Structure 1
Amino acid sequence: MTHFIDRRLNPKGRSTGNRRRFIGRIKAHVREAVDASVRKRGITDMEAGTDVAVPRDSLSEPSFHHATKGGTREGVLPGNREYRAGDEIPRPPPGGGGAGRKGAPDGEGEDDFVFALSRDEFLDIFFEDLELPDLVKRSLAGSAVRRPRRAGLSVTGAPANLNVGRTMRRAMGRRIALRRPSDAHLDDLRDRLFALEAVFEPDAAQRAEMARLQAELEAATAHRKRVPYLDPLDLRYSHFEPQPEPRAQAVMFCLMDVSASMGAREKDLAKRFFVLLHLFLTRRYETVDLVFIRHTHLASEVDEQTFFYSRESGGTMVSTALAEMNRVQSERYPASEWNIYAAQASDGDNYQGDSRDCQIWLESELLKICQHFAYVEIIGEAEARILRDAARGTELWMAYREVAERWPNFAMRRVAGSADIYPVFRDLFARRREVAHG
């Protein structure tokens, strides 16, 4: 067995990088722990970190060893007093923790390796591969980000910004203008002078030519020294100036049904969905506005605290929320400058005939300006076993289903329990893969 020992020091500040590489190795176990944690925790604990248990088998390191000669090799390790070559070793008893490890008296093996994910690590994995679709409209309005842009050349600058191409072009022009002797010219003079010096008994003409070549070579060499190959006057640096960068502006409208038909269970599931949405947007984007709209038979824009914690109740008229969204968008978020998104949660119960009005609001106004509209319908666990066919459902679900068939930017899903929230959320906001066309 040959062992390779890595004795490289771990420089100060490298622990974060090492931790990221470690998490990358056990990504599957981390993902399972994050998914399981979301189903169990409450709304207020949604963004906290979590513990991850990793089986010890997943932590084994690769090793180098000598190949056996002639294929399989049999043998008995030193210190063995029980077995001989050819004997079959019995399987370790259950709970032994694997070969070579003795199980605990109570039948439990070695504990899994457990480590804690920080809040930032948890959220990064939690929202991995999620994005707002079709985020394309960009504007300079309110842009706080300034990035360097090329702004010509400068005679001064940092060495890293040296423009080699322009510098060498100027140096070449200067050398040509000052008639700096080239390497080829000097080599030619030396070769001719060497040929004359090789003559055993040069005549007077050859000696005169040698003197002329020697003087010309000395003059050319002196002139070459006076005209350097690269002069500080030749240096040119790329110049950069900070300029405002257009950035994507987006607004997310959160529409939640808080009518009497939404019981405590339904409201809790709706809040869980919107908490995930709020965390996702604030974590991944800097320039996303959130507009909270609650509705019963009336709809109104509210602040975040009221949206999540107010106990208002009443009748149900879903179209009022869509009308309120259209009003706020028209007044504050012009479609030419803003990427507009919406997410709606309801139990599907609606005033008779109002579902048709919802359909009209969506198709005539909202879906024409929305990048993406997501509808989540909260159903009972008993209904989930019955409504497996997406063609069946409430009047609102049926009306929205017709909308989804005609508008690709409209998506709808059903949620029956807390375990469905995260998968549905990922399904609605998963990163779309671009398809290359030949």
Structure 2
Amino acid sequence: MYIIDRRLNPGGKSLANRQRFLRRAKAQIQRAVRQTAGDRDITDLERGGEISIPADGVREPSFRRSGEGGVNNHILPGNKRFVEGDAIDRPPRGAGEGGSNAGNGGGGEDDFRFALSREEFLDLFLEDLELPDLAKRRLATVEVQGLRRAGYSVSGSPVNLALLRSMRNALSRRIAMRRPKAAELIHLQEEIALLEEQGGDMEKLLELRERLEKLQFRSRRFPYIDPLDLRYRRFEPISRPVAQAVMFCLMDVSGSMTEHMKDLAKRFYMLLYIFLTRRYKHVEIVFIRHTHEAKEVDEETFFHSPETGGTVVSSALREMEKIVADRFPPESWNIYAAQASDGDNSPNDGATSAALLRDVILPACQYYAYLEVGSDHDRMQAGFINHKTALWQTYEALQEDGANIAIRKVNHRREIYPVFRELFRRRDAETRVP
């Protein structure tokens, strides 16, 4: 979304203050957009909608005299409650008029409401997000088409006419063909006119006229600019290699995952899917569901299949290892993985999962994110955990050993977007306080 203010600067207000106001208004819109993520259904996450921000937030700032400092003398009418020297307490916050909830006698003001299109909503929703460490590996063989300068051609569109090159060619041709200059013709014409006025030597006059006629003929024969002089800038299509990336989405759908937990995991992956398809053109997405066994599925099956069973996390990691070996060599691909689970795992699978991650998966990955989904009754601050599950302890030990893995936990759907943004925020983005 772009906010363009074309008003003239009023007296006493500078352009810098106006720009700060516009940035503050945009920040409030962004907060309002992000707060709606927790209240939407999964199918409505990428739609536009109506957004409201406080009316006070859209007022342009201005300077005014403060009433809090200095010495002020007031004359007030007498009453039975106060006498001279009594201190009058400040009215409690919200007791005065104003606000959308003001009484009938107040001058309340409703929130500022407006509608955002789908494109505007997604631009604000996904701003400052990116895949970490993208393109650190070798550029892959996938290419995009572009154009580059490829010299000049004798034909082309008028908009591509190379004026300087054409004039240079015309000058070179005129010099080579000894085309008479305009000043030479003018000088000869003036000399002939002077002889005619003075009645000079007729033989010399005829000689000058004959010379002038030859020069004019030569000038007409070799024009100032010839079509052969024209040159046009030439462009040719080229293929540029781009960095390829693949995102593995590993979701636990075992019997220990309640419907609430599955809803949280699906919301996380829906955000991830929207983010990847919106921001990147060359990112492959691989969906893997697992219980006691894992398999690669399509998008429809990943989000809607009711499959259930036991829990063996290493089955998903082995499936990912197999797919990477078959289709995505680490030396050519930027490999990412996002795993969602309730933290439950078979007691005999913890060491196997840790070994696969430490020795195979993490060395091949640019970034690995683990999201643990919990019960809505176990409410803690987003991103923290009070009870460490077996899978959390395994991943935490890897993280303490320096592995490039991020681990977070969510219990409510309103915590999904803040945690998602924390996992995939742009690392070099400056934090701006509105």
Question: With structure 2 as the length reference, what TM-score do the two structures score?
Answer: 0.72
- Tell me how far 1:28 sits from its aligned partner: 2.0
Q: Is the aligned partner of 1:270 residue 2:272?
A: no
For residues 293 and 220 of structure 1, the distance between their equivalents in structure 2, rounded to whole angstroms, comes to: 85
Deviations 1:388-418 (A, max 9, x none): 589x833432332343355564322222322
Structure-2 residue corresponding to 1:146: 145
For residues 325 and 97 of structure 1, the distance between their equivalents in structure 2, rounded to whole angstroms, comes to: 55
Contact 1:367/1:407, CA 8 A, preserved across alignment = no
Letter in 2 for 1:355: G
Contact 1:153/1:236, CA 8 A, preserved across alignment = yes
Shift of the 225–298 alpha-carbon distance from structure 1 to 2, 3 Å rule, reads same
Structure-1 residue corresponding to 2:13: none
For residues 93 and 401 of structure 1, the distance between their equivalents in structure 2, rounded to whole angstroms, comes to: 50
| Secondary structure of 1:292 counterpart | strand
Contact 2:382/2:415, CA 8 A, preserved across alignment = no
Deviations 1:75-124 (A, max 9, x none): xxxxxxxxxxx999xx99833469xxxx7616461322311112222112
Letter in 2 for 1:361: L
Shift of the 235–95 alpha-carbon distance from structure 1 to 2, 3 Å rule, reads same
For residues 386 and 135 of structure 1, the distance between their equivalents in structure 2, rounded to whole angstroms, comes to: 27
For residues 362 and 213 of structure 1, the distance between their equivalents in structure 2, rounded to whole angstroms, comes to: 98
For residues 246 and 309 of structure 1, the distance between their equivalents in structure 2, rounded to whole angstroms, comes to: 36
> Which one is further off, 222-231 or 345-354?
222-231
Contact 2:383/2:410, CA 8 A, preserved across alignment = no
Structure-2 residue corresponding to 1:128: 127
Contact 1:37/1:50, CA 8 A, preserved across alignment = no
- Tell me how far 1:214 sits from its aligned partner: 9.4
- Identity, in percent, stands at 48
- Tell me how far 1:335 sits from its aligned partner: 3.0
Letter in 1 for 2:235: F
Letter in 2 for 1:95: E
For residues 61 and 293 of structure 2, the distance between their equivalents in structure 1, rounded to whole angstroms, comes to: 64
For residues 360 and 389 of structure 1, the distance between their equivalents in structure 2, rounded to whole angstroms, comes to: 24
Shift of the 110–133 alpha-carbon distance from structure 1 to 2, 3 Å rule, reads same
Q: Is the aligned partner of 1:333 residue 2:335?
A: no
Deviations 1:162-183 (A, max 9, x none): 2234323322321221123557
Structure-2 residue corresponding to 1:251: 246
For residues 150 and 275 of structure 1, the distance between their equivalents in structure 2, rounded to whole angstroms, comes to: 42
Contact 2:98/2:108, CA 8 A, preserved across alignment = yes
Q: Return the match for 2:425 from 419, 426, 430.
A: 430
Structure-2 residue corresponding to 1:168: 167
For residues 279 and 350 of structure 1, the distance between their equivalents in structure 2, rounded to whole angstroms, comes to: 29
How many residue pairs get aligned? The number is 381
Deviations 1:165-223 (A, max 9, x none): 43233223212211235578789x69x97xxx8xxx9x99xx99999999878876775
Shift of the 211–374 alpha-carbon distance from structure 1 to 2, 3 Å rule, reads farther
Superposition map of 1:137-286 within 5 A:
138-141=139-142, 145-181=144-180, 223-224=218-219, 226-286=221-281
Structure-2 residue corresponding to 1:14: none
Deviations 1:43-101 (A, max 9, x none): 232222221124444455799xxxxxxx99xxxxxxxxxxxxx999xx99833469xxx
- Tell me how far 1:277 sits from its aligned partner: 0.8
Superposition map of 1:339-418 within 5 A:
339-380=334-375, 382=378, 384=380, 393-405=388-400, 409-418=404-413
| Secondary structure of 2:247 counterpart | strand
Superposition map of 1:23-42 within 5 A:
26-42=25-41
Contact 1:34/1:50, CA 8 A, preserved across alignment = no
Q: Return the match for 2:97 from 90, 95, 98.
A: 95
Deviations 1:129-178 (A, max 9, x none): 2122333254455x5x5333334422111111122343233223212211
Contact 1:180/1:227, CA 8 A, preserved across alignment = yes
| Secondary structure of 1:132 counterpart | coil
- Tell me how far 1:325 sits from its aligned partner: 0.8
Contact 2:243/2:334, CA 8 A, preserved across alignment = yes
Shift of the 243–44 alpha-carbon distance from structure 1 to 2, 3 Å rule, reads same
- Tell me how far 1:273 sits from its aligned partner: 0.6
Shift of the 114–5 alpha-carbon distance from structure 1 to 2, 3 Å rule, reads closer
For residues 334 and 179 of structure 1, the distance between their equivalents in structure 2, rounded to whole angstroms, comes to: 67
Letter in 2 for 1:120: E
Shift of the 401–217 alpha-carbon distance from structure 1 to 2, 3 Å rule, reads farther
Shift of the 336–262 alpha-carbon distance from structure 1 to 2, 3 Å rule, reads same
Contact 2:362/2:403, CA 8 A, preserved across alignment = no
For residues 214 and 95 of structure 2, the distance between their equivalents in structure 1, rounded to whole angstroms, comes to: 95
Contact 1:140/1:244, CA 8 A, preserved across alignment = no
Question: With structure 1 as the length reference, what TM-score do the two structures score?
Answer: 0.71
Superposition map of 1:310-325 within 5 A:
310-325=305-320
For residues 184 and 357 of structure 1, the distance between their equivalents in structure 2, rounded to whole angstroms, comes to: 93
> Which one is further off, 154-163 or 371-380?
371-380
- Tell me how far 1:310 sits from its aligned partner: 2.6
Shift of the 174–210 alpha-carbon distance from structure 1 to 2, 3 Å rule, reads same
Structure-1 residue corresponding to 2:85: none
Deviations 1:271-297 (A, max 9, x none): 111111112122223333322111122
For residues 139 and 131 of structure 1, the distance between their equivalents in structure 2, rounded to whole angstroms, comes to: 19
Shift of the 220–26 alpha-carbon distance from structure 1 to 2, 3 Å rule, reads farther
Structure-2 residue corresponding to 1:48: 47
| Secondary structure of 2:119 counterpart | helix
Deviations 1:217-274 (A, max 9, x none): 8876775565444322111112223344434433221101122332232222111111
Letter in 1 for 2:127: E
For residues 426 and 33 of structure 1, the distance between their equivalents in structure 2, rounded to whole angstroms, comes to: 15
Letter in 2 for 1:149: R
